[in-house]
Amino acid sequence: MPAILHLSSLRLALFALLPFALASCGGGGGGGGGGFSFFPFPPGDSNPPPAAEAKYMVGGSVSGLLGSGLVLQLAGSADVTVAADGNFVFSEKRAKGTSYAVSVKQQPATPAQTCTVNNAAGTIGDADVANVAVVCATTSQKVSVTVTNLDTAGGLVLQNNAGDDLAVNANGTFSFTTPVAVGADYGVTVKTQPAALQVCIAKQAFGTVTAAPIAAVTVACTTPGADRFAFTANEGSSNVSMYTVLANGSLSNIGNFPVGGTPQHVTTHPSKPYVYASNISGATRGVIQYTIDTSTVPTGTLTQQRTITAGVGTSPLFVGIAPNGLHAYVIGDGMLRSLDVDANTGELTGGTAIAGGSNRKIGLDPQGRFAFVVSGSSLNTFRLDPNTGSPISPPASVTLPANSGLTDIAIEPTGRFAYANAGINPGTLLAYSIDATTGALTQIGSIPTGNTPFGMAIDPSGRFLYAANRNSNNVSAYSIDPRTGALTPVPGQPFAAGNVPNSVTVDRTGRFAYTANQADNTITVFTIDRTTGALGTGVNFPSLGMGPQFLALSR
């Protein structure tokens, strides 16, 4: 057995033992034999009453109010009548995790004004909500949206400022019913995706209303088609497993394709039947390229085309293909390497290398502007040449405390926000905004997650983020605020997965999620509620290989 396999087994064993080691050091309560109780109860009271649940207020401020009669509404609470600029608060308190939505029930008169609610909706956290902003003005403007490529089945519902639903069933330009006060913000989001297997994303969707109507917002819909095949890189058995994907998202085993080394990662081309596996040992060390049999009666079997060694380094840990399918990126040996993808054969050729690409994942900007690499305790941003795809500058770095345990970074589909994971236990997800010109990352928040978050994925609509937690054997799920990028836990999370989920993958329609479970050699398949982001009960399918690392999907 190659030495690298021993290291992998040792790494897995250490991860698995961490929770027990922590418990044996006195951090847990509940075991017998001495010690002390964290929660002493009065004698004879073995079942004390539960502590009262904390509840929080919802409120904010009003500005620009000149008229009278403004009434604000919060479902489940008494209305608030506002007579002048200043702060307001609703009477009913809300528990953590519950949602809220503030709206204007009655606009002011004498003079007539339009009042718009910004930061109108969200989920209660650990403090009062005080940032609801009501902006009033005597002038207002319409917000219009241009929709393209929408399937004739329709079903698309848009919102402005978390309300004012607009149902769209055709391509064209449409306006929201309620105008927005001049000086207030607008924010167009997709509330409900189309009935067909489409994904619609709003762009140029946020801003402040000035003297002209808003007409630059676009909603582009795509029909990605259901995934037909799945592949896993199996570190423990030196092969790539092949599956067909059934209509309900479940997997049917096809077989294994031997690698002859230690595969670390597998990925697919976004539009062509090519599969790439990174391999760090053996005679086939390099990036192995396969083609997929995509017959009318789908087989999904692979045919190996070549082992690519030139330009990929001696330890290719990860290989990623750019969203446009023209360029490939490989990390390993402390370098980020870029190569060209031959349009006819899929071969990776040429290429450049730049220092700063280590660890295990690359996050690629959907517009091809940047590549983001997690490297130990730093996040590196590489600007990419728009023509060649090559890195054109040294990386801009965000440095975190030593031993932060960074392993993955995920970029949401509009390219405005990035998310990285950090820490072993407790784990933390870090949220960043992305500078559209330089790619520089600015932290905008953080949120706790499970034990040892490892792989992450964002659904194709950009509404939900999922993190696979290796040592708590589950998946954390979060909704993404489309305006701010902030994360909010999805109700019901975390969701149980197999043993040591190493990665999580979301299919191209946003209906299914998969974890590759390294310790029990299974793949967990979840259904996704496309409205809430919640995962259904996971179903474990046996993997054909040992130690599956990543799962990749293809049409």
Per-residue pLDDT of 79-137, as tens digits, reads: 999 999 999 999 999 998 888 999 999 999 999 999 999 999 988 888 999 999 999 99
User: Does 30 map to a domain?
Assistant: no
In sequence order, which residues have a C-beta less than 8 Å from that of residue 494 and are 6 or more positions away?
450, 469, 472, 474, 475, 476, 477
Q: What is the rounded (10 degree) CA torsion for 173, 176, 180, 182?
A: 20
User: Does 41 map to a domain?
Assistant: no
454 and 419, same structural domain?
yes
382 and 269, same structural domain?
yes
Distances (CA, A) of 99 to 24, 52, 120, 297, 417: 39, 20, 11, 47, 23
User: Does 2 map to a domain?
Assistant: no
Q: What is the mean pLDDT of the segment spanning 363-369?
A: 93
Residue 50 is predicted with a pLDDT of 60
Residue 348 has pLDDT above 90, yes or no: yes
Which candidate, 382, 287, 380, 292, places its Cα nearest to that of 339? 287
- pLDDT more than 70, % of the chain: 89
Residue 26 CB-density burial (10 A; 0-12 exposed, 13-18 middle, 19+ buried): exposed
Question: Residue 546: helix, strand or coil by DSSP?
Answer: coil
Q: What is the mean pLDDT of the segment spanning 33-42?
A: 33
User: Does 53 map to a domain?
Assistant: no
355 and 209, same structural domain?
no
Residue 48 has pLDDT above 70, yes or no: no
**Full residue range of the structural domain in which residue 483 is found:** 229-554
388 and 352, same structural domain?
yes
CA–CA gap between residue 274 and residue 229 (Å, rounded):
12
Residue 405 — pLDDT band, cuts 50, 70, 90? Answer: confident
Which pTM value belongs to this model?
0.84
CA–CA gap between residue 427 and residue 425 (Å, rounded):
5
217 and 81, same structural domain?
no
298 and 371, same structural domain?
yes
Name the domain count of the chain: 3
290 and 194, same structural domain?
no
Domain end among 137, 170, 187:
137
272 and 165, same structural domain?
no
Residue 427 has pLDDT above 60, yes or no: yes
User: Does 536 map to a domain?
Assistant: yes
446 and 332, same structural domain?
yes
Task: Return the DSSP state at 11.
Answer: H
Residue 402 is predicted with a pLDDT of 75
Q: For 438-458, write each residue's pLDDT tens digit.
A: 999 999 999 999 998 999 999
Residue 508 is predicted with a pLDDT of 93
Contact present, 106 and 117 (Cβ < 8 Å): no
Q: What is the rounded (10 degree) CA torsion for 443, 121, 119, 63?
A: -160
102 and 150, same structural domain?
no
User: Does 45 map to a domain?
Assistant: no
Residue 28 has pLDDT above 60, yes or no: no
339 and 438, same structural domain?
yes
* Whole-number average pLDDT of the chain: 87
The larger pLDDT score, comparing residue 374 to residue 114, is at 114
412 and 304, same structural domain?
yes
User: Does 124 map to a domain?
Assistant: yes
